[in-house]
Every structure is written in C-alpha cells, then in structure tokens.
Amino acid sequence: MKHPAKIVFLAMDAGDKFLIQNWARDGTLPTMHSLLARGLVGDTISVEGLYEGSTWPSFYTGVTPARHGFHRLTQINPGTYELHRSSPGEFIKREPFWNLLSSAGKKVAILDIPLSGISKGLNGIQMVEWGSHDAVYGFHTWPRALKGDVLKRFGNHPMKKSCDSDRRSPQDFCRFRDQLIEGVKKKCELTIHYLNKGEWGFFAQVFTEGHCAGHQCWHLHDPAHPNYDPKVVSFTGDPIREVYRAIDSAIGRILAHVDENTYVFFLATHRMAHNVGGNFMLEKILEKLNVLKKYPTTAAFEQPGMMNKIINHAKGGWKKLPKPIQATLKPALLPLYNLARHRVAGEDLPQISSTMDLKNCKCFPNENGNLISGIRINLLGREPSGLIKPGKELQDFSRELSEDLLNILDRDSGKPIVKRVIKTAELFQGEYIDHLPDLLVEWNEDKLIGSKGVNDDKSCWLQVTSEKIGMVEGEYTYCRTGDHRPEGLFSVSGPGINPGAIGRTISIMDFAPTFLNLFGLTNPDLDGKPISEIFGKEGYFK
C-alpha cells in the first residue's frame, strides 16, 4: 500500500473562510484561488462551544476537549475555586500526532502550531511561538540550539508583544498592520530556509498574523461594525485585507519550493467576525438572578486581606490617570498588578474573583470566550463549598437558569440577547470534563457591540432586561472588535488528487487521524476520523 513521501501543511490561524473565498474569486488572493481550484476542498468546523481555545489542541490530538481538558490558558482547578495556568504542553496529556509520526521514524518539522508545547526528542525540528498570537512560553525550539540559529538568521518576529492594545490611533493601526506584514515576510523566509534543509516526511507552518488582525481590526474592515469610521478607514485602509494578501503571497512563495510529489494541505481554522455578546455583563446578570453572591462593598476589602485593599485603591487611582500616562506605565506596572492579584490567594495561583462570596454562590462565571460564555455550577461533592446536589437538583437548577437567561431581552431591539444555553456534558464525555465550564451561554449575533477601546461612542454600552433581573447595563471596554466563529475550510492537492468539493463538513479533530493514516499509522483511541474522501482504493490517495 502506497504512503505519501512528503506532506506540507500550511495554515492561516483564524483565517476567515468567507474572506478567503471572496478574495480568491476577485483576484485579491491568487494563491488561495489556485489552491481552491486545483485541490479537494471541504468546509471544516471546530469543537462546539469551546472553539476559542480548544481548536488547535483538538486539531493536533484528534480528541474532544473533555478528553484533552483544554479550553483556555487559565482554567478552574477542579476541587478548588482557584485557577491554574493550563500551559498546553504540560497540561494536555494526549499525544500530538507529530509525536506518533516521529516515533514511527518520520522526520517532521513543526513550526508555530498554536497552543502546543515542545516535544523533546522529536525526530526533526520544532519551533513554538517564534511568531504566534497566543504567547504561553515565549520562543522555544527543539533542538535547543535551533533557537540561536533562527535568531541569528531571522531575528525576532516584529510583533514582540501581545497584539492587544487598549487604544490605537489611525497611525498606530497602520504601524500595527505593517508589523504584521513584515512578520509574514520574515516567516516566509524562515519557512523556505528550513523547508529546504531537510527531507521532511511532514512539514507544518502556521501563519497567525491574520488572527491578530482579525481581533484588532474588524471595525476597519466591516462597514456594519459599530466602530466603523469611514474617515479613519480612508487613512488606514483595510488591514485585514492587506495581511491576508501578505499571507497569500508568502504561501505562494513557499509552494514554489514544494515539488510535485508533495501533498499540500491548507487549513483556515475558526474564522473571525464582528464582536457580539454580553460576556462582560454575565457576572451582573447572575447576581441579579440571585444565583451569584458578592461580598458587600465594605467587606470586599477585608475578606481577602490587606493586599486586596491595596489593589482596589490602586485600580481607582489608575482610572484617574490620563490615557497617555497609562500607556507609558502599563508595560511596567501590569506584571506587578497581576503578581499582586495572585498573592491575594496566598500562592501563585489567582482565584476566580475576590469579590464573589463563593461559599454562597449557586454558580459563577467560568471564562470561556466573548461569543460563548462559560458558567460553573457550585456542585456539591466537587467544589469545596458546593451547594447544588447532583441529579435532579442539578437538572432543575440548570433548566431554570437556562430559561432565565433565554428570557433576557436587548432593551433596544426587544430581541433575546441569548441564543441558546448548552450543557457541556451533553456535547462531550471524557476524563477531563470537570476542567470545562458546565454551561455554555451562546450570545445572539443580532446585537453588535462596539469597543470603548477604539472610541468612546455609546455603541459599547449594552442594556438588557427581563422580569427577573429588571434592567442591567454594562460597557464593553476590551480592545478587540472582532472575534471567533467555528467555521473554517481546507484543501488538499497533490498527485492523484482530483479537484472538487467534499459534500460534508469536516471536524477539526479529523486531521490528526488523517495524517496518521496517510503514513500507514492508526490510533483507534481518537474521536476524529480519517477524511475518507482523500483515500483511494489502490493506495492512500485517489
């Protein structure tokens, strides 16, 4: 049975499938047009409800979040009310598929696959976070000496810090765009260099610059966005389009170094769209529903101790500082602030919230994302001060809370602000289910939310109402104007691959078993299934 000699996997992290398709058609993205025209193409879907943080871990392990346990970089520590830093390389117990390829003697190069850790002893090379949207470890390599070679030849990625920024001027957005484009160009040169240095069985590179652009610049792309300003856009242009063009050009240059006997996979993962939802108001809503209790204002200082008092006073003084001074001081003071918050817990782990009276809460927010919020139920026998009994009481509480959330209306439109409430245990089963939120609150996309981090208009305010909560309002202050959706697309091309479309949606978990099978390997303990449309009767490819 034939096995492919080489596979090259190239991806756009958070690449938006609809932008890629539209710009491929109109000639903006000629490489994408070629890949989609000559390849076998299919729609993809990430893991339901948890796709903000679980997409890449589910991609490379081939199992659901309930079996690898990861949905966010900071997660609940079961049995406590504390958070732990769930660094994926150490926390995720499932093997990434490239470890199995390496053990089978395949030479692999794994470059910048997001939310992954270093695989020591890998038969090949690996780079983690040379240029990545999610910064967990900083730049590391295998073997370790590779790091020096990369820095000597290519230096650091131009985006040396987080993409997020509280406030950018039009000029800042232009500089931000140019940094991302320069990062794409450097990553292209780096990729070509190492691609040509070895006879790789499997070679992977991920461009994450579109992820950064999508979060920060959606209001400069979408005229329907509440923060869209034609005058600003006339100056900045559409940074997302320009970053996508740079990635398209880079992939085209890389593919010029790929021979005709290599099978090329392209993947655009969970896409981007306008920011929506009331995640920033969930704590207030749960408090109004009498399922979450907070300490009285006077006790909030005393309960966690003097450090908490200092933190609260510092926050009050910070808000009074002029924005330019905040921008200057933030890089130095933010690490100290985070350290102080962690020390409130008496150790190096932050607590859920020092203002919540967790012993008397029936549930509390369990951070998951903006479009789909998480809620953790204070379950008897699991939480230190659990109140809700498993079984009928849990079912009744979950049902009533879901109904209450679904009855909340946007004051402006009169439409429900919540689209649906999902029980995580009804989506997934596995040994790590308790690391995940219990309920997932999907916000209605009809209500677009602006960001105070972009300007100070009223689009960042949300007012919601119901018979139980009365009227609750809040202000969205985070800088991101775009956020994720679960849809994606992929293409595969190479010898024996006939162009066409797959008439079904492929799970993000299907890629790991597909890559294994293409090399004659199997792992029956995966939730994903090999993409059968790729395989032919006389070999692994049609």
For residue 149, the tally of other CB atoms under 10 A from its CB is: 14
User: Using CA of residue 313, residue 316, residue 319, residue 320, what is the dihedral sign?
Assistant: negative
Nearest 5°: the CA angle 394, 410, 215 is: 90
CA dihedral 275, 481, 412, 461 (to 10 degrees): 120
Query: Pick from 38, 101, 41, 98: which is nearest to 495 by CA?
Result: 38
Please give the structure tokens belonging to residue 465: 């109402």
- The answer to whether the CB of 207 falls within 8 A of the CB of 11 is yes
* CATH superfamily of domain region 6-275+483-534: Alkaline Phosphatase, subunit A (3.40.720.10)
What CA–CA distance (Å, rounded) separates 507 from 504? Answer: 10
Helix (H) or strand (E) holding 248: helix 239-255
Q: What letter would DSSP give residue 72?
A: -
**Phi (first) and psi of residue 423, to 5 degrees:** -85, 120
CB-CB contact of 139 with 127 (8 Å): yes
Question: Which residues of the chain does CATH 3.40.720.10 include?
Answer: 6-275+483-534
pLDDT computed for residue 92 by the predictor? 85
Number of H helices, E strands in the chain: 18, 20
Tokens 């010029």 correspond to 256
Peptide bond into 495 cis (omega under 30): no
Locate 493 and state its tokens. 């091309």
| pLDDT given at position 339 | 47
- On whether the CB atoms of residues 464 and 437 are closer than 8 A, the answer is no
Q: What predicted TM-score, i.e. pTM, was given to this entire model? A: 0.89
Instruction: Please say whether the beta carbons of 361 and 292 come within 8 A.
Output: yes
pLDDT at residue 315, rounded to an integer: 64
- C-alpha distances (whole Å) from 375 to each of 22, 66, 76, 438 are 37, 16, 11, 6
Task: Give the pLDDT score at 251.
Answer: 98
Strands 6-12 and 262-268: parallel
Burial of 124 (0-12, 13-18, 19+ CB in 10 A): buried
What is the pLDDT at residue 132?
86
The single-letter code of the amino acid at 74 is T
Residue 91 C-beta-side C-alpha neighbours within 13 Å = 25
Adjacency order of strands within the sheet including 461-466: 409-410, 461-466, 470-475
State how far the alpha carbon of 103 is from the alpha carbons of 91, 119, 122, in Å. Answer: 21, 11, 8
Cα–Cα separations (whole angstroms), residue 457 to 141, 245, 460: 45, 31, 7
Instruction: Write down the pLDDT at residue 456.
Output: 66
Nearest CA among 34, 41, 40 for reference residue 17: 41
DSSP 436-484: S-SEEEEEPTTSB---TTT--SGGGEEEEEETTTEEEEEE---S--EEE
Q: Tens place of pLDDT for every residue, the chain, 542 residues?
A: 355 569 999 999 999 999 999 999 999 999 999 999 999 999 999 999 999 999 999 999 999 999 999 999 989 989 998 888 888 888 888 999 999 999 999 999 999 999 999 999 999 999 999 998 887 888 999 999 999 999 999 999 998 777 887 788 999 999 999 999 999 999 999 999 999 998 899 999 999 999 999 999 999 999 999 999 999 999 999 999 999 999 999 999 999 999 989 999 999 999 999 988 899 999 999 999 999 998 876 444 444 444 555 555 666 677 678 877 776 665 556 545 544 544 443 334 445 666 888 889 999 999 998 899 999 999 999 999 999 999 999 999 999 999 999 999 999 999 999 999 999 999 999 999 999 999 999 999 888 888 887 876 778 899 999 999 999 999 988 889 999 999 999 999 998 889 999 999 999 999 999 999 999 999 999 999 999 999 864 444 44
Do β-strands 40-45 and 418-423 pair in parallel, antiparallel, or remain unpaired? unpaired
pLDDT of 356:
85
Q: Burial level of 80, CB count in 10 A (0-12/13-18/19+)?
A: middle
Query: Helix, strand or coil for residue 492?
Result: strand
What Cα–Cα distance (Å) separates residue 96 from each residue in 20, 122, 162, 398, 458?
28, 11, 26, 35, 45
Torsion of CA 512, 516, 521, 526, to 10 degrees: 10
